[in-house]
Amino acid sequence: MKFTVLGSGAGIPSRTRNTQSYILDVVEEINQYFLIDASEGVQHRILHTTVRPSKIKHIFITHLHGDHIYGLPGFLSSRAHQGGEDIPLTIYGPPGLKEWIGLTLKTSHSQLNYPVHYEEVSHNVQYEVEGFTVDTYLLDHTIDSYMYVFNEPEKLGKLNTDKLKAIGIQPGPSYKEIKNSGTFSHEGVTYDTKAFLSDPVPGRKVSVHGDTRVITKPDYLSLLEGSDLIVHEATYLEREIEKAHMYFHSEIHNVLQNFSQIDYRKILFSHISNRYDEDDIRLIKETLDEHVSIAHDYLEITIPRISL
């Protein structure tokens, strides 16, 4: 599993940062990519990666501000000619998204050669997506803006082949059948498969925010608890907490203070204002812990599966 930043900037792009779009690479797990937000030019950004548009079957839009959606009609049109023919696509997003896309495609006389299904998201809903669960949480912004929490299912533990041999079952195709069963029988005795497996390996958890103020609610922090990766906006980097709050955005140190009460493995700050140049960001990075990163365009983060 990998997380790729296609755009790390806030509302107005800079020379080094496009506006916000991400790819959650779950090709190894389910042979797909999840696209999260679709900033202007996202189809061009993808050309600089190994991502195949036809393998993007689910798109998650955090909110309907232009810097998060202006690239979506272009991507949809290009996907139709990049191997996407007849491959269904589901788009998750706030109310109004379906209407906007439909009007844009109609006005531009654009035709899609694959079916599109829309899921109109709301607060505190869980979706089943290709074996993953995806939770939504309504954030605190000028319009409805959501966090998506991607939860990978746990993986079965390893089969203890020595224990199987001890009861007389030799290596062969039956091992796979046993591992995927609840119980199995041998020589008239029924066994619980769990007794022959090591502990399951927990699934990974990736929490991706749209634009938001800092939120201190217990249910929000509980939802983030145990994330392998949290992606949060940091439009402000220099302790302008009151200003960030006034404009419905976040300041990096305030976010870190808020998250000091939960456990997580890594946090990635994105949605960086174009007022900061790379020297500013380098100086701020030097003050941060090793589990904290500031995004840049085309950054890739590998999210390993951690065994208990």
Tell me what pLDDT residue 307 has: 63
Q: In Å, what is the CA distance from 276 to each residue of 20, 209, 235?
A: 16, 21, 10
Q: Would you please indicate which residues are annotated as catalytic (active-site) residues? A: 67
The answer to whether 223 and 207 are in contact (CB under 8 A) is yes
68 has binding-site annotation: yes
81 has binding-site annotation: no
Residue 149: φ, ψ to 5°: -115, 110
Which candidate, 103, 92, 84, places its Cα nearest to that of 35? 92
140 has binding-site annotation: no
291 has binding-site annotation: no
Tell me the H-state helices in 200-251.
218-224, 241-246
The answer to whether 127 and 133 are in contact (CB under 8 A) is yes
Task: Kindly list the structural domains of the chain, giving each domain's residue range(s) and its CATH number in brackets, ordered by start.
Answer: 2-155+200-302 (3.60.15.10), 161-196 (no CATH)
Per-residue pLDDT of the chain (308 residues; tens, 9 = 90+): 999 999 999 999 999 999 999 999 999 999 999 999 999 999 999 999 999 999 999 999 999 999 999 999 999 999 999 999 999 999 999 999 999 999 999 999 999 999 999 999 999 999 999 999 999 999 999 999 999 999 999 988 899 999 999 999 999 999 999 998 999 999 999 999 999 999 888 999 999 999 999 999 999 999 999 999 999 999 999 999 999 999 999 999 999 999 999 999 999 999 999 999 989 999 999 999 999 999 999 999 999 988 65
67 has binding-site annotation: yes
The whole model's pTM is what? 0.92
Tell me what pLDDT residue 306 has: 80
